[in-house]
């Protein structure tokens, strides 16, 4: 399997995207503290090096990210694949994809949505381990009291993403 990577400049900062021939596998802001660790997971689990070259998936993603940050895109068509994480984490990430653009839910609501109403701490942990930032919209999950909660790429960035979505 060949993996491709591309650095994409966005209005919220530089991002690193990794894809195979058909799907996006990882997307993160480059200052995410666990980026190197997650990059090693990708290489080890897929037993592949990552070429510093783009492909159609990554080129399409870059166009979509530009449109998103310009306020002209509210859903992504770039195909994604959850190659990593436990079945529970993947269930959480799938549920994240169902949160509508411009809306937020609490960690408790997310836990209820996956049929595990008392597992909100585990849901929050899985949320933070999301491999596909932005497209799998972990930024749309907030604390039950309405505060923003955490965000692995910085709370200011979470505020910016929610603001972009609120304007449209």
Catalytic residue list: 138
Phi, psi angles (nearest 5°) of residue 126 = -65, -40
Residue with tokens 């595990």: 116
């Amino acid at each position: 399997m060949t993996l491709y990577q591309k650095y994409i400049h966005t209005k919220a900062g530089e991002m690193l995207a990794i894809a195979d021939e058909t799907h996006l596998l990882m997307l993160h802001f480059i200052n995410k503290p666990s980026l190197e660790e997650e990059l090693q997971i990708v290489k080890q689990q897929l037993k592949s090096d990552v070429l510093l070259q783009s492909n159609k998936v990554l080129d399409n993603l870059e166009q979509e990210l530009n449109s998103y940050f310009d306020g002209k895109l509210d859903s992504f068509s770039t195909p994604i694949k959850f190659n990593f994480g436990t079945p529970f984490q993947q269930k959480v990430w799938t549920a994240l994809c169902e949160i509508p653009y411009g809306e937020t839910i609490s960690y408790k609501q997310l836990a209820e949505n996956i049929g595990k109403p008392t597992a909100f701490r585990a849901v929050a942990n899985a949320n933070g381990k999301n491999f596909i930032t932005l497209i799998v919209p972990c930024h749309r999950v907030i604390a039950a009291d309405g505060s923003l909660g955490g965000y692995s790429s910085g709370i200011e960035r979470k505020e910016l993403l929610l603001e972009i979505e609120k304007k449209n």
